[in-house]
Amino acid sequence: MSDWFENWFGEEYIALYPHRDEEEARVAATLIADHVGLPNTARVLDLACGAGRHQRELCDHWWTVGLDLSPALLRIARSESRTNPLVRADMRRLPFATGSLDMVVNLFTSFGYFRDDQQHRVVIDEVARVVRSRGWFVLDFLNAPQVRATLVPFDRRQVGSRVIEQEREISADGRYVRKTITLFDEDRTFVERVRLFDPEELDALLSSAGFEVDSVFGDYDGRPINPMTERAIFFARRR
């Protein structure tokens, strides 16, 4: 049985979400560069790079390889830059040597997609393996308390000639957020399901993999996290 993310981030996803904020990517990359203080010779991985908007900004600071599972999103990333290095792989099995990278970044909630927490731990352990001692891991995740407090159960929007309905719900145990996307009048439905890791749970995951959390921000402008900030941006260093 395939997981939802194996089929969702393809041509339909691109058509339904055609615009992503390039300025937001620049601000996120600036926050990272200002905080970690790595030299321009550093080697960086953009883990789950998607269509490459963050990778392109990070490449202004360091050599940055992008990794993603989606061929469709990687094709877009390649069309935007013929020179930036890209790899197709599963984040649970990173094709990099142990200790070969100075930093790994995982941005815009590209985590929490798996069926069980053991698979999420495998990802963090793999990141810990490929990052050198005292290297960095930047994990940019949704802020679970804010999601639970502000969830919009239903909305409808139009993209081109398509009408899209989106239904959202929190699981009964509060551990997952599920979004059902329906193409109105096309009788097609897609589902996104993300684990709602609370900041304390992310802290524990990072610590168990050998990272020390240095800072946690609540947005890309670097403001402190609180229960109502939209993001939980962890800056952690490998022990």
pLDDT of 20 reads 66
pLDDT of 29 reads 98
Report DSSP letters for 177-188, one per residue. Answer: EEEEEEETTTTE
pLDDT of 141 reads 98
Distance CA 129, CA 99 (A): 6
pLDDT of 179 reads 93
pLDDT > 80? residue 132: yes
Distance CA 61, CA 202 (A): 27
How many Å separate Cα 29 from the centre of its chain?
13
- Per-residue pLDDT of 62-71, as tens digits, reads 999 999 999 9
pLDDT > 70? residue 214: yes
Question: Average pLDDT over the chain, rounded to whole?
Answer: 93
Beta sheet of 231-238, edge-to-edge order: 86-88, 63-68, 43-47, 101-106, 131-142, 231-238, 211-217
**112 or 21, higher pLDDT:** 112
pLDDT of 103 reads 99
pLDDT > 80? residue 17: no
pLDDT of 82 reads 93
Three-state secondary-structure class, residue 61: coil
CATH number for 4-143+198-238 (one of 3.40.50.1820, 3.40.50.150, 3.40.50.11540, 3.40.50.300): it is 3.40.50.150
HEC-encoded secondary structure of 136-179: EEEEEEECHHHHHHHCCCEEEEEECCEEEEEEEEECCCCCEEEE
Distance CA 228, CA 101 (A): 33
Q: How far is CA 113 from CA 62, 110, 177, in A?
A: 28, 8, 10
Nearest alpha-carbon partner for 213 in 137, 140, 141, 104:
137
Percent of the chain that is helix, strand, coil (3-state, to 5): 30, 35, 35
pLDDT of 162 reads 84
pLDDT > 90? residue 9: no
pLDDT of 194 reads 95
pLDDT > 70? residue 125: yes
- Per-residue pLDDT of 88-121, as tens digits, reads 999 999 999 999 999 999 999 999 999 899 999 9
- Per-residue pLDDT of 25-41, as tens digits, reads 999 999 999 999 999 99
Q: What whole-number percentage of the chain has pLDDT above 70? A: 95
Domain ranges of the chain: 4-143+198-238, 146-192
Please give the average per-residue pLDDT across 140-146, as a whole number.
Answer: 98
Most confident listed range (4-8, 183-187, 198-202) = 198-202
pLDDT of 45 reads 99
pLDDT of 12 reads 73
